[in-house]
């Protein structure tokens, strides 16, 4: 069986350098930011020149554009009950889709944000309407770049910890646009949110089944991370695979599931290097080890 493993490398020196670092880690997929993730970036575009340089780097190392996943800025709280904040986040999400479309990426994934002191159902509807706004603002191109909801660990009032919440968000998108959206699952977030990945292969399969049945489709990507905190802690702290509370075995069970075939399986595990030199295209040693570990699990 083939599995498309990816990493989210440092982008010091620009995104073409991140592409080279991913390839050096042995990855066939890439996750990246197209703008600084701690800003809204609602006025930031991606020039054709920049996109062409990234495409050239991808072609040079043989990573397909459909195996590139953009991670949206963390600050985009499209769920916020504060109107000014939610509107700015909505604009930011549309720009994420615009930049990801210019890259011809699989999609951009985003965290739905927090309901704050508002009603969670209203918050889920606001997230769905923000997706709809992005899809209506940015015309579809041949690559079919999508807006993808990432499940969350469920800290505080954050949205997207259950399949029901994700389904409610996606239900706000009109049928004609629905194929341009979807969701992905992060193993650390699933575990922290209390979904069972660890007791047995059957339990893990049942967790994936529940998301597939409630939402009506399979995940479009996975984030493969171990968790520093225990199951049900609602704490989002990633660990190296095998060094957290999930452990290695559930990742082997997961890779044996047919739903992991053909989609980007991206590591977001801690880097080892404290500092990255801009013109150094070598991978982080931890990324290289993690990709090798997953390749070993895939082979059983």
Nearest residue to 21 (alpha-carbon basis) of 297, 265, 271: 271
Choices 6-14, 114-122, 126-134, 179-187 (CB under 5 A): range interacting with Zn ion = 179-187
Check the CA dihedral 116-166-95-39 and report its sign.
positive
CB-based contacts of 182: which residues, under 8 Å, 6+ apart? 107, 146, 148, 149, 170, 217, 219, 220
> In the set 150, 236, 284, 287, which binds Zn ion (CB under 5 A)?
150
Backbone angles phi, psi at 266, to 5 degrees: -105, 130
Q: Is residue 99 part of the contact set for Zn ion (CB under 5 A)? A: no
CB of 272 to Zn ion, least distance (A): 19
DSSP reduced 3-state for 28: coil
Using the contact rule CB under 5 A, the part of the chain among 15-23, 60-68, 139-147, 148-156 near Zn ion is 148-156
Q: What Å distances lie between residue 188 and 24, 84, 196, 222, 235, CA to CA?
A: 25, 31, 11, 11, 9
CB 47 → Zn ion: shortest distance, Å?
Answer: 26
**Window of 28-36, 98-106, 185-193, 196-204 that interacts with Zn ion by CB under 5 A:** 185-193
For Zn ion, the binding residue among 223, 224, 233, 288 (CB under 5 A) is 223
Q: Which residues contact 77 (CB under 8 A, 6 or more apart)?
A: 85, 86, 89, 113, 114
Task: Give the C-alpha separation, 255 to 268, whole Å.
Answer: 17
Nearest alpha carbon to residue 74 among 92, 91, 60, 56:
92
Q: Which one of 11, 186, 226, 236 is in contact with Zn ion (CB under 5 A)?
A: 186
Query: Least distance in Å: CB of 50 to Zn ion?
Result: 23
> Which listed range, 21-29, 79-87, 165-173, 219-227, lies at the site for Zn ion (CB under 5 A)?
219-227
| Smallest separation, CB 183 to Zn ion (Å) | 12
Per CB under 5 A, residues contacting Zn ion are: 150, 186, 223
């Amino acid at each position: 069986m083939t599995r498309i493993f990816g990493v989210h490398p440092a982008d010091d020196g620009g995104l073409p350098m991140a592409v080279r670092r991913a390839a050096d880690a042995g990855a066939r997929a890439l996750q990246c930011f197209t703008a600084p993730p701690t800003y809204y970036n609602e006025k930031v575009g991606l020039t054709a020149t920049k996109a062409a340089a990234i495409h050239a780097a991808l072609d040079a190392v043989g990573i397909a554009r459909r195996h590139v996943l953009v991670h949206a800025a963390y600050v985009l709280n499209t769920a916020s009950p504060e109107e000014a904040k939610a509107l700015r986040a909505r604009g930011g999400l549309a720009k994420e889709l615009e930049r990801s479309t210019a890259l011809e990426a699989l999609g951009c994934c985003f965290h739905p944000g927090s309901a704050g002191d508002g009603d969670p159902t209203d918050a889920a509807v606001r997230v769905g309407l923000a997706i709809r706004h992005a899809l209506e603002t940015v015309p579809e191109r041949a690559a079919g770049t999508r807006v993808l909801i990432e499940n969350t660990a469920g800290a505080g009032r954050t949205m997207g910890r259950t399949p029901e919440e994700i389904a409610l968000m996606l239900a706000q998108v009109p049928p004609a646009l629905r194929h341009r959206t979807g969701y992905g699952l992060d193993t650390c977030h699933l575990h922290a949110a209390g979904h069972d990945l660890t007791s047995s292969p059957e339990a893990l399969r049942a967790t994936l089944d529940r998301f597939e049945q409630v939402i009506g489709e399979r995940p479009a990507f996975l984030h493969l991370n171990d968790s520093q905190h225990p199951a049900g802690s609602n704490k989002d702290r990633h660990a190296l695979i095998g060094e957290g509370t999930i452990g290695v075995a559930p990742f082997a069970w997961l890779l044996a599931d047919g739903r992991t075939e053909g989609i980007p399986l991206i590591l977001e595990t801690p880097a080892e290097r404290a500092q990255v030199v801009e013109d150094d295209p070598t991978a982080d040693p931890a990324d290289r080890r993690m990709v090798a570990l997953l390749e070993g699990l895939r082979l059983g």
